[in-house]
Each structure stands twice: as structure tokens, then as C-alpha cells.
Structure 1
Amino acid sequence: MKRSRTGVAHALTRRRARFDHAPMHGLSRFLLALAFVLAPLVGAAQAPETGKLLDESRQRIADARKQLDGGDVDDATLSQLRDQMGAVDTHANTLLGELAPKFDAIAARVDQLGPAPAKGGEARDIAAQRADLEKERGALDADIKRAKLLIVDSGQVVAQIAEARRANFQARLSQRTPSPLTPTFWRGLTANIDRDLAGARALLGGMFAGTAAAFAPANRVPTLFGIAAGVLLILLGRWWVERALMRWTADRMPHGRLRRSALAFAMVVATTVLTGLGAQVIVIAIDWHSVLGDDARAFARSIVSAVVFGSYVTGLGRALLAAARPSWRLPPISDDVAARLRHWPLLLGGAVALSVLLKHFNEIAGTSLSATIAGSLVVALVYAALLAWGLLRAARTPADATEHDERAPRPAWVGVAIALLWLGVVLAFVAALSGYVALAHQVARQMIGLGIVAATFYLVVHVVEDLFAAGLSSQANWVRRTLGLDQRVLDQVAVLSSGLFRVFALAIALFAALAPFGTEPGDLVSQLGRTAAGLKIGQIEVTPVAVFGALLVLVLGIAAIRALQRWLLDSYLPTTRLDPGMRTSVTTLLGTAGVVVVVAFALSALGLGLDRIAWVASALSVGIGFGLQAIVQNFVSGLILLVERPVKVGDWVVLGDAEGDIRRINVRATEIQMGDRSTVIVPNSELITKSVRNVTLANAEGRVRFRVPLPLDSDPARVVEIIKAAFAAHPGVLRQPPPNVLLDSIENGNLMFIVVGFIANPRQSGQVRSDLLLDILARLRAEDIALSTPYQVNLGRVGEAGAQGPLSGAE
């Protein structure tokens, strides 16, 4: 039975908005504002003419200001005005984005024509074209200015609406009604009991009549089938999905934090979706042949909304408590506390569903203000009682606990939160019994809402952080091969990404927590729409799309450069005549140049062309002049080393006290590995500006050279044969060029032989020299040829007989 709402009922509904603000109200406003944001994108091709659209938007702003200046405006009207202003702002920004490129294109065409010559000095067709362009540019400029003015005016109206909502909120909290402990409260409630019961009977009668019609013989089959399907989804479907998720996460997912957080998140989604879907299927089955009236159908939709909200709260609490699965529990809650609170999520979900359902019932049935206040009183008392019961259950000491039981120390913030919750519970009870029903309802509802928001934030943040960590860990090898990043950098990326998401999620959570105090989700959507349109910093306009495109260009460009380097180093360069050191130098130089090019392309995608960042170049020039000249000098020296290759990877160099092999040439410094396996980091400018001995530059062969002193009575020819035989017997000495033994001189009565031999690797000269000397000494001893002893001089006193002591030398 369709029922028309009277003017008195409508007025009571507007007054009742001061007491009823369930979570569904904010969600509906959020979806409506989102629809206003997306509507211009969907229907841009069918948008009205620019002038008409601007005039309509201007009229909307004028009407909104007139309503706001007229006096007291309820929250429902303020929400509608805010949505209208959001639509005006979105349309104006969209129109501005469409007109600005057109204006720039016409301005460019006018600039191509050049300045207008003297009168009569220009061809007629060009003059006509110039006039048309000037006229069109003027019209576009006017429209652009009007659009910008609309954006400013709509923002001012939104600020005025927010101020009015805050004033209404403060007035609502300070409003007092008769206390429920006094007869006045109950007399006011019974005064309208007949009309309230009539409205309730009309609504429920319509529901019962529609349900009875749904079970008529012509409608019975689809109704029974739909109800059975809905019940199966709510009961068996949810049970089966939860068991399947448990098995899948236990068997398929690797051990770690992700499997716990993913299971909790999946259980919340499954509980909410399946329960809400089952309720929706039941409603569709009953109303399959449109047997419900308008009010009954609206109330049925309200039942579905209440079920969805209640199931979400229940699923969230069950997933976080995990009373039946202690090892899968995310928050640090003891098993005893979780077991005592295992029924609390279901009770809380039922209370939330009751709040949503009661609010919509009062609106649809058109109940009186007294009944609405009574409903708010019931919701406030139920919320406060549930919180008190939960706090008592969580704080109760088990019966088998002793005073010697060791418990983990509780964080300070937990104690503060519990104290604040108790304070809120007491305040809600006192305010409700004192007649401040709106204040009690707001306090109790806000505590429940903050708990739901905090639990949602906790679960979502854990899921995303674990997903980042597990994703980068499982793909670590691929990322290292593609981007050339090590595990430490991947860990930093994971931590940074999760931190950025935590900041974003915290901002959303704070917004949701502050929504009941005068801010609506539509404001966030409008702000996001303005941000998506572009953030202008000076002459540079940065948009989220441009930022995402720049990051995409940067990541893909670096991946392409790394892949090209890997292909050159592993596939192409080995087929050339380049030595390994030159291959490394080529790939390093290519990687450096490629990164510079990719960064330039990323800046271009972001909208930061070289012509727009001249001031950055100026700042860099000043910085180079004062403190960066050494860094730039080393960078340029590194490029010279990679191009000219006076030294290359694998060379054995001597630079001052440093002597060793070059292991890596970077753009700023060169790594030299010493003989003791230590590494010396040498700035590239040192290799360019100072003298460097490159032992292996022209020839990779080494040389062994030492001197052998022998007595004068030694047979030189025999000595040469012995030494050459020792060289020939050593496998490290090269046969070409052959070793050489020269009689260099006679010093202090000794024959001085110089022995020179060549080896394949100069780094083995010390070991080869030692082996040769040991072999030569053994061969000389076998031939009874002794090495010379040092020349000694003995000094003595003159004797008493006047004879002089000996003064002789021995070799």
C-alpha cells in the first residue's frame, strides 16, 4: 500500500536528522559525491553549451547562498547543498581543463600571424582570420575567467556549509530533552503513540502483505528458490568459503606474516559479501514480481544495508580475535581474552545493524520526534552497555590464575585507551539519563565508530605491508636481474612503500574518524577531484596522472637499460674482439648515459622540460662553483677513463703507494684491489692528473729480474748454463722471449750476473722469483760453486813491539 508523506511528517523527519546519523548516511553521501565527480567524465560528450553550463552553475551558487543566509538549515539540506557545490566545482574544473588547451592553441595561431600591421597594410583574408581568432580568444578567455570564479565561489560556499554543519553539530550536542527517568519523557512519547503505531503498522503491514503476495501460487517457486539460495549463501556459503580459505592459505601460501593477514582480510570480505549478497537475494526473491510497495521496498533495502554493516563489523571482530585459531591471530591479544570476547563481535554487529535499521525505519514510517529521540536513547544505551561488558570481560582475571603468573607488560597507550573508553561509557550513561540524548548517542556512536575505523586501519595496513614484503621477496631475483638492485635496496623499497601507504591509510582513517564532527566524505571526494585536476606550483602543473606516468617511464626505462646492458655483456660483446675490461667499460658507460636519458624522459613526462627548469641549472652551476667541483671533476674523469681507457678493469697499476688490480671503474671513483686483498678507493681525477704506472697496459706479460754475485774464480760459462737450466725447468717462465743471463760487471772482486726472464702474469713475479732463486742456489751448491761473501775490513791496534796489526780484506 503506497502512502504519501504529509508536510508535518516531513518536518519531523528534518528535525529527526539532528538525532540520527548512522554510518549508512556517510556512505551514501560518499557514493553520491563520487557520482558527481565521475559524471562529467562519463557524459563529457553530451555536456551542454559552455555559456549555459556556466549560467546554471552561477545560479546554483546564488541559490545556495540564499538558503544559507536565510537562517537555520538542517543537516540533510546542508549535505544536498554541499553535493551541489561539489558538482559545480567538478564541472568548472573539467570545463577549465577543456578550454585551456583551446585557448593556448588559438594564442599560438595568433602569435604565428605576428603583430598586426598598420591599418590597411594586411591582406583582407589574413585580417579576417586575425579578427576571428581574436574574437574566439576573447570568448574563451571570458569563459576561463568565469570558470575560475566559479571554483573560488563554490569553495567559499563549501566553507560556509562546513561552518553551518559545525554549528548544527554543536547545537545538537547541547540540546536537552526530558530525562527518561522523569514522567515528562514518557508522556511525550505516549502522546504520539497512536500516530507512531499507525505509521509502523502501515509499513509493517505493507511488508507482510508483499511477503504474502510473494508466496502466492503464481510467485511461490522463484520466492522459495531465492530464499533458499540466500539462506545457503549466508549459512553454508560463508562456512564453506571460510574453510576453503583456511585450507588454501595453510597449503598454498608460504609461511610468514602474509598468510595470517591475508586470511583475516579474506574472512572479513567473505563474511560481508556473502551475508550481504544472501540478504539481497532474499529481498529480490520476495520482490521478484514487484509485490512490495514503495515504502516496503525502501525498508527492504534498509534491511540489506543493516545486514551488510552488521556482518562487516562481525567479520572484522572475528578475524582479529581469531578465538578458534590462536596461531593465526594478528593483534597481540592473549588467548584467554580472545576466548572471553568471542561472542562480542556478533553482539556488536547486531547493535550496529539495529542502529542502521532503526534510523531508516523512523525515516520511512514518519515517526514522531519523541520516538526518534527514544530510538537514539536505545542505541546509545546499547552501545555503552556493550562497551562496558567488553571492557569488563577483557579485564577479568581467570579463575585459575595466580599472583605469580607472569604477564607481558601492557603498553602505556593501551591503558590510556581503556581509561578513555571507560570515561566515554560513563559519560554516555550520565548524558542519556540526564536528558542529553544527542550527546550520549554521539559519544557512544563515536566510540564504536573509532573502534571500527581503527580495526579496519590495522587490518588493511598489515595486509598491504605484508603484501609488499612478500611480493618483493618472492620476486627479488627477477627485480635484481631487471633493475640491478640488491636485496638491501629491495628491503628499503618495501619499507618505503608500506610507509607511504600507511600515511595514506592514516589520513583516510582520520578523515573517517572526524566525519561525524562536521566533515563528510563528499568533501574528500571533491578535494581528490581538485587534486586530480592538477596541482600548480608556479608555472609548473603537476597531476597524479603525470606523476604516475613519470614513475612508469622511469621504471620501464631503467629496466630496458639493464636488459640492454645484460644482453650486451652476455651475448653480443663476447662475439667481438673487445677484451673483458673494455666490455665492462662499454656497458658501464652505456648504463650511465641511459639513466641520464631515462631521467630526462621522466622529467618530460612529469611536465618539467628543460626550458622550465633553468633555475635548477642555475642553482647547480652555483653549487658546482662553490662545493661540487671535486665531484664533477671525478665524474668527468670517470667518463674519460671509460672512453680513452688509459687503465681498464683487470690492469695492474701502481699509483703512489697503491699497487694492485683494478676491479671496477665507476663514474666517480676506481676500486683497486691490493695484494693483501684490501681495496683502495681512488678518485678518478687521481688517475687522470697524476702519473700512473700501468704494468699491463701494452703487454700483459711480467718480468723476473735479479742479480747473482759470484767469486772471480767461478766459471762464467758454467754459471750461465746452470741459471738457464733453472729457468728452463720452471713451468712459469716463458720460452719466448727466452730468458737472458748477462755478466754485467765486476764489483768488489765479484762477478755480477743479471738474470732476466719473462712470465705470463706479472702478479706471479714474486713467487716465480723465489722459486728460481731457490733452484739456482741448489744447483750452484751441487756444482760446488759458492756465492760471494761480503767484503770485510778488520781494524786493530799497534802492538807494544811496534809491529802494526793486520789490515786486510777478505771476500
Structure 2
Amino acid sequence: MTAFTRWFAAVGLALLLALSAGALRAQDGDLSYESWETVAARAEQVIENGQASDAALEDLRSTVAGWRETFLQAESTNATRIQTLQSQIAALGEPPAEGESEPEEIATRRAELNDELGRLQAPVRQAEEAYTRADGLIREIDEMIRARQADELLSLGPSPLNPSLWPDAAHALADSWHSLWSELRQNVQSEVTLREARRDLPVILLLVGLALLLVIRGPAWMRMAINWLRRSTRRGTGVWGFLLSLGGIVLPFAGLVLLTAALQATGLAGVKGRLMLEQLPAWGGALLLIGWLADQSFHQNDDIATLPLPQAQRREARYYSNLLAVLFVLRSAGLTTAEIFSYSDTTRVVLDFPILLLCALMLSRLGHILSGLTPERATEGTLLEGSHFRLRLARIIGRAAVVLAVVGPVMSAIGYDAVGQATVYPAVATLAVLALVLVLQRVVNDFYELVTGKGAQDADGLIPVLAGLALLIGALPLLALVWGARVADLTEVWARFREGFTFGDTRISPADFFTFLVVFVIGYALTRLTQSGLRSSILPKTKLDPGGQTAIVSGLGYVGIFLAALIAITAAGLDLSSLAIVAGALSVGIGFGLQNIVSNFVSGIILLIERPISEGDWIETGGTHGIVKSIAVRSTRIETFDRTELIVPNSDFVSGRVTNYTRSNVLGRVVMNVGVAYGTDTRKVEEVILRAVREHDMVLLNPEPMVTFEEFGADSLNFVIRAVIRDVGHILVVKSDFHHEIARRFKEEGIEIPFAQRDVWLRNPEVLFDRDGGKAPKLAADKTDTAPQDEAARARTEAQLSSRSEAMPTGRAGDDDPGGSPTGEGGDGR
């Protein structure tokens, strides 16, 4: 388990060396290119020979990377002065064409500026050349190291299942323990060693007593504190319980450190024994850390557990995790022993295979448990409850763990031990890292609940989700190291990130991007603040209508965002002049592919400026009535009277016909038809209707309402009411009131409201009777002679037979009827 410690230490040391090297050289002011030439020549010679060890290559790469960082910083030397000179030269105009001349003063000044520009650009060009050389050397070193790693990974070695190799491995292991025992026995028999041990005995006993107390009682104390905290309070127990649970690791680990110091103080361990004792805290810390992760991930309490498993499977998973911790410690002890006693590669493979096999077995069992996670089996209150994506990801990881647990031992048994170790152990470490991420995300959720008083899952908080994403991104470098990435690979990614990327002729670094982001966010915030002030404080005190206020606020928002982006680009020092070709290509693309979007955008600006429609207006477009709710850049949102949302592109308002019922005012005219029976006094009807209309409180008397006698209809005398009301939004209510009032007054005055009537004539009435002249009806459905039917049956029979004849409306006998009507003339419709 010392691998994690080495990885973290290596990462920190590499970053520190790279940053300090660049800082020291930057402080020198003048770069010593002679020293760099020496380093570069030595690096090229080492690469050409190809005999250096991996450690030597890593040291050489670190040195070259420091120089590369220095050259990158030197590329920005005199950047402001160079930009000023280029602007001065551009101000002089284009140089004359060949064969032409320009005024002597301008030519002299142009030459002076060009000479000064060349002098200032010389160190920049030299730094760029040196940077390119250093970057190439680093790439060559990386390729050489990766090639060696690939060859080592794919090299076929002895199989650990070969019985002929077992005796040598057993002898080597026995000799190691015999050597350690011999050192211990020799020191015990030494009078000098015993005398020094007796002299330090009080200190040794004190250290041992404190160590045993912390190791044995420390976890129990922390559990008692956590239980007391849960009983005493509910809010914040997750955060405080997590901090106290860390004490269950810190106290025993401190005890192991004290115990190691006590054993070393005795002096009984020899040289090799002291090397083994130095690893004791690391081994104990590994056991404690993995046990803590297993307890937090598979805790019996649902409020603490991060995986939604039943209680039985949680106990099983904790058991397998603790066994894996023991196996990892045994493997680390085996590696330490092999390094101290210089085991052969064959002995290492044979001794590591049983541990590899047991680790694969535990990994397979954990993979089966994870692959069984389903939403139906999710335990309420756990972190993954209700998160189908996380459950699906956990199942995928579980299945992958099962596959790797099978592939690793098989490859190691064949002889590819490097492949087996690079498969099983990183898979176990990956599970540990992901478990740590879930535990930390649980702590973030508990902290969010402590601060806000709301559960992270119940409140759908964005902060816990982003924190979980940040934790996962932060774990990626550790996962890369687990799966065999070098520390140099991570530092190279960081260097590339700091270097930035080239966009046209402009290099954009993270600092430039951060400056752009900060300035744009500030400008955006100021724009929104100004909009809010105008909307709430200034514009309501003016005489502008609500639509005009909305237009001003929206227009200010567009202008503010544009200015914020422009200022941010300028502040970041981004030169976008080289993007003219790209902008031209985009213009062509906009003209062909995005013309509808651009048309809607321009139409939205026109709507905001001209304001033919405003928010709150009642409009009609495309046969649909509704109220304008918002006017955006691309479209306008209309709420219909059915309470549905209608999204209309802005171009439809600019190029199409739109009826706005409330544009200038809310006045509107009611037009309604009324019919009365023929023979009614028309002047009396007009007087009754006009009186009913005038007395309505929504009708304006200026202009006067009007009732006109329109026409002699087919069934009635038709009158039309025209009246202007105060609010056109109440037009349906007003029409309904008119109907009720007119119907009441007509009833009081005895005025009849007619309804249409029609007479039906039969073309062939003889079919109602027998052909022999009898008067009994001939039933269509009657197949035998029956008794005469009653009048109801006769009526039904006539109705059936009438469907076989044509119906003709009343009026004159139809010209189409040769026989004419029985009366010779039609009815009058009443």
C-alpha cells in the first residue's frame, strides 16, 4: 500500500520542481542559452544511446520540462512594447509598392520602427526556437519510456503454476525469515543492546502503553462519541459523524507510529528488521483506511451507507473488503521483503500469485454484489437511491470487475504476470477510489443540509450535484495513476493546459480564458442589475406603457451582453482579426442554413423597436386569438383563451397580418344581430333594443350606440346592434348581457323572435297505399298479410317510406316537379 504514498509524493515533488525551476530561471532575468545547450546536447545523446534507466530518463525529463516552462514564459517578453510598435507601423500605412517611393520622413520612421521591432522580437524568436526543441526532447523521452513499459508488460515470463519453481521460492522465503530471526537473536544476545534497552525501558513501556490504548480503545471512543451525537441532535450529525469517524483512523494510526517508535527504541531489530518496521505504520494505515471505506460504504445504518444494498449483502461486502485490505498488506510486505533480500523475478512471481488469486476472488465477489444493484433493491435513504444513472454505472463497474477478476489470474498463470498484476490490483484500487468519492459526496450533501436545512436530494440542489462532479473530476488523476500512468504524464497535461491552445495566430491560455470569464460575468451581472433597477424603480415612474418598458429593458439586455463580451475579449487580449476568414465562412453558412433564425432574430429586434405588439396585448394571428406573454429574440409566446401556449416565430408578425385589439387602447365595438317576426313594428323594435343597449354600464354613449334595420330576411326582420364598450376584453360578457336583456324586454313588449320552419313535400305519395287502391299501408318490413295497424305504426311506416322520396323546402312549387304542388304555391315559411 505504499504505492499510494509514492504516487502522491511523486506528483507533489514533480509539480514543485517544475514550478520552482521555472520561477528561479524567470528571476534570473537573462536566460543562459549556453547552459540550455549543454542540457539539450546531453539529452540528445542519452536518447540516442538508449541505455539510461527509467529513473535517469525521468530525472532528465524533469530538467528539460523546467527549461521548457522557462522558455514559454520568455515568449511573452516585451509583448506590450511589441504590440505598440506594430500599431505604430500600421499607422504609417502600407509600405510603397516596388518601384514607388514615399516621403523621406515616413520612410526613415518606418525603418527605425522596424529595427526596434526586430530587436525586441529577437529574444522572443530565440525562446520560441528553444521551446520547440525542449518540447521535442520531452516527446522523445516519453516515447522511449512508454515503449519500455509496453515491452515489459507484454513480456512472457515463467508460469507460477510450474511446480519446479516452488522449491526455490520456498527456500528464498525461508532464508529471509531466518535472516531476520538471526539479526533479532544476535541483538538479544548483545549486552550493549540489552543495556541500552533497559536504560530506555520506561520510555519504551510508556510508548507501548499509549500505542495499545490508542489502537484498542481509540475506535471505541469514536463510536461512543458518534452515538452520543446522534442521540443529542439531528441536524449536522452527518458532518460531525464523518469528522469523528476520521478519528477512528487517526488515533489507531498514531498508536501504530508510537508502537513503531517503541520497537525501534529497543534496538533489537537489525538493519533489515528496521527496514521492515519502517513500513509498519503504512501497513496499519492501509488496513485502517480500507476498513473505514468499507464501513462507510456498507454501513448497517442507511443514513451513512452510500450503496443501496440489503443488510446481508452489506455485511458480506464489508467482509470481502477487509480481506482485500489484509491481502494488500501481505502483498506490500512481500514486495518489501523481495526488495530487501533481492529476490529473483521468478521468486517474486511465484510468491505473489496466491495473493493475486485471492484478491481476484474477493474482487469477483464484490463485482457480483455491485452488478446486482437495481432500482427495486435500492435501500431508502442511501446516496444512490433514485439515481438510475449511478445505479447503472455501479452495475457496469461490477461487471467489469468480474471480468478483470477472471482475466488477471489467467494471464498471470500463463506467464504474463505483469498483465495480471496490472489488471487485478488497479481494479481493486479503482473500487477504493470510487468508494472514497461516494463517501465525500455524502459529506457534501450532509454539509449542504447543515447549512441550508434542506436535504440535498429533496431540494434538488445544484451545488451538491456540481460538488459531486468536481469530486469525480478530481479523482481522475488518481485513477490514471492507479492504471499505470506516470507522474510525468499528469504534469505534461498540466503543462499543456497552462500553455493554452492556438486559435488562428492567437494563443489562448487559461489565464486569458479566466480573465475573459471574470470580466464577462461582471458585465453580465451589471447588465442584469441595471435592468432590474430600470424595471422596478425608474420606468414605472415614466409615462411609458408596459410594452414600451419591456422593450427598453430587453434592448438594454442585448446591448449590455454584447458590450460585456466585447470588453471581455479586449481585457483578455484576444486578437480576433485573424478570424476574418472564419467569420466570412460563418456568414455564408448563416445566409444559407441559418437564415430563418437570423430572420427571426432581426424581426424580434424590429418588434422591440417598433412595438406593433407588446406584452399583454390581445392579438389575432393565423386565426388564433391570445394574449402576448413575452417577446424573445427568436419567437413570441402567446397564451390562448384555452390556456395553451402558442410559440410564434417573430418573422410571422413582421411579414404577416396581425390584428391587435388592444394596441392603442382597450376600447372595442360590439356588433350583434337580432331578428324579429314579420309584422312587428320595426320602430318599436329599434327603440326597445337601443334602450337595452344604452343602459348597459360597459357601453360608451360617445360615440352613440346604433341599431340599424338591415334587411328583410327569409324568416325574420334583421336588425344589427353596433356599440363601443370600454374594455374589449369583456366583449363576450357584454354580448351575453345584451341577449338576456333583449329577450326579457321582447317578452314584456310581446315581440316575437321567429325560428325557421319548413314544409316537406313528397314526390310519389302513391307509394303510401296499395296499387289496387286500398287504403291500408304497405309495410316495407311486412312479408305476410296482417291486421290493420294503429296510428303510431302508420306514422312510422310513412316515415320509412318518406326516406325514399325527396324533400323540397317550402315556397313555389319546384320547377323540377312536373306535377307541381297540391296547392299550386308554396308556404310563406311560417
Q: Same fold (TM over 0.5)?
A: yes
- String of CA shifts for 1:242-290, please: whole Å, max 9, x gaps: 66667879965799xxx7xx899878865555554554577789999x9
User: Does residue 644 of structure 1 match 2:610?
Assistant: yes
Contact 1:89/1:154 (<8 A) preserved: yes
User: Does residue 740 of structure 1 match 2:705?
Assistant: yes
**In structure 1, distance between residues paired with 2:17 and 2:124:** 25
**In structure 2, distance between residues paired with 1:723 and 1:395:** 87
Contact 2:670/2:723 (<8 A) preserved: yes
Contact 1:573/1:583 (<8 A) preserved: yes
**In structure 1, distance between residues paired with 2:533 and 2:189:** 77
Which residue pairs with 1:311 in the alignment?
A: 288
**In structure 2, distance between residues paired with 1:71 and 1:384:** 36
Change in Cα spacing, 1:559 to 1:741, as seen in structure 2 (3 Å) is same
Which residue pairs with 1:691 in the alignment?
A: 657
Which residue pairs with 1:34 in the alignment?
A: 15
Contact 1:702/1:759 (<8 A) preserved: yes
After the TM superposition, which residues 312-391 of structure 1 pair with which residues of structure 2 at under 5 Å, given as runs? 312-322=289-299, 324-325=300-301, 328-331=304-307, 333-340=309-316, 342-356=318-332, 359=335, 367-370=340-343, 378-385=351-358, 387-388=360-361
- String of CA shifts for 1:198-241, please: whole Å, max 9, x gaps: 778899999x9799679749x94xx8887777666655555555
Contact 2:320/2:366 (<8 A) preserved: no
Give how far 1:103 is off. Answer: 5.4
Which residue pairs with 2:782 in the alignment?
A: none
Give how far 1:341 is off. Answer: 5.1
User: Does residue 535 of structure 1 match 2:501?
Assistant: yes
Identify which range, 676-685 or 638-647, moves more after superposition.
676-685
Counterpart code for 2:741: D
Which residue pairs with 2:85 in the alignment?
A: 109
**In structure 2, distance between residues paired with 1:203 and 1:645:** 99
- String of CA shifts for 1:121-172, please: whole Å, max 9, x gaps: 8999999997676445324422331232122113212322333344455569
Give how far 1:678 is off. Answer: 3.8
**Which of 451, 466, 469 is the matching residue for 2:428?**
451
Give how far 1:676 is off. Answer: 3.4
Contact 2:22/2:69 (<8 A) preserved: no
**Which of 164, 178, 181 is the matching residue for 2:148?**
164
Contact 2:437/2:475 (<8 A) preserved: no
**In structure 2, distance between residues paired with 1:133 and 1:746:** 94
Change in Cα spacing, 1:726 to 1:348, as seen in structure 2 (3 Å) is same
Counterpart code for 1:653: I
Counterpart code for 1:701: L
After the TM superposition, which residues 607-622 of structure 1 pair with which residues of structure 2 at under 5 Å, given as runs? 609-622=575-588
Change in Cα spacing, 1:170 to 1:659, as seen in structure 2 (3 Å) is closer
Structure 1 unpaired stretches of 5+: 1-19, 397-407, 480-486
After the TM superposition, which residues 707-722 of structure 1 pair with which residues of structure 2 at under 5 Å, given as runs? 707-708=673-674, 719=685, 722=688
Contact 1:795/1:806 (<8 A) preserved: yes
Counterpart code for 1:59: T
**In structure 2, distance between residues paired with 1:232 and 1:603:** 63
Contact 1:33/1:83 (<8 A) preserved: no
Contact 1:351/1:379 (<8 A) preserved: no
**In structure 2, distance between residues paired with 1:539 and 1:273:** 54
Contact 1:704/1:756 (<8 A) preserved: yes
Counterpart code for 2:434: F
Change in Cα spacing, 1:672 to 1:441, as seen in structure 2 (3 Å) is closer
Contact 2:323/2:362 (<8 A) preserved: no
CA-atom RMSD, angstroms? 5.7
Which is bigger in relative contact order (C-alpha 8 A, separation at least 6)? 1
Contact 1:449/1:513 (<8 A) preserved: yes
Change in Cα spacing, 1:567 to 1:357, as seen in structure 2 (3 Å) is farther
**In structure 1, distance between residues paired with 2:418 and 2:825:** 124
Counterpart code for 1:138: A
After the TM superposition, which residues 477-492 of structure 1 pair with which residues of structure 2 at under 5 Å, given as runs? none
**In structure 1, distance between residues paired with 2:85 and 2:292:** 62
User: Does residue 84 of structure 1 match 2:67?
Assistant: no
User: Does residue 666 of structure 1 match 2:643?
Assistant: no
Give how far 1:643 is off. Answer: 1.4
**In structure 2, distance between residues paired with 1:140 and 1:796:** 109
Counterpart code for 2:284: V
Change in Cα spacing, 1:770 to 1:690, as seen in structure 2 (3 Å) is same
Which residue pairs with 2:38 in the alignment?
A: 59
Contact 1:242/1:270 (<8 A) preserved: no
Number of matched residues?
Answer: 737
**In structure 2, distance between residues paired with 1:137 and 1:555:** 35
Counterpart code for 1:137: Q
After the TM superposition, which residues 565-604 of structure 1 pair with which residues of structure 2 at under 5 Å, given as runs? 565-600=531-566
**In structure 1, distance between residues paired with 2:756 and 2:405:** 98
Counterpart code for 1:319: Q
- String of CA shifts for 1:613-642, please: whole Å, max 9, x gaps: 323421331123213222222211111111
User: Does residue 676 of structure 1 match 2:647?
Assistant: no
After the TM superposition, which residues 112-131 of structure 1 pair with which residues of structure 2 at under 5 Å, given as runs? 112=88
Counterpart code for 1:112: Q
Contact 1:249/1:263 (<8 A) preserved: no
Contact 2:14/2:491 (<8 A) preserved: yes
Of all paired residues, the percent bearing the same amino acid is 22
Counterpart code for 2:11: F
**In structure 2, distance between residues paired with 1:754 and 1:320:** 82
**In structure 2, distance between residues paired with 1:426 and 1:166:** 19
Counterpart code for 2:132: K
Other structure's SS at 2:76 match: helix
**In structure 1, distance between residues paired with 2:599 and 2:453:** 36
Counterpart code for 1:381: P
**Which of 128, 146, 156 is the matching residue for 1:144?**
128
**In structure 2, distance between residues paired with 1:417 and 1:694:** 67
User: Does residue 155 of structure 1 match 2:148?
Assistant: no
Give how far 1:682 is off. Answer: 2.7
Other structure's SS at 1:697 match: coil
Contact 2:519/2:567 (<8 A) preserved: yes
Change in Cα spacing, 1:264 to 1:179, as seen in structure 2 (3 Å) is farther
Counterpart code for 1:677: R
Contact 2:426/2:483 (<8 A) preserved: no
Change in Cα spacing, 1:122 to 1:360, as seen in structure 2 (3 Å) is farther
Contact 1:780/1:786 (<8 A) preserved: yes
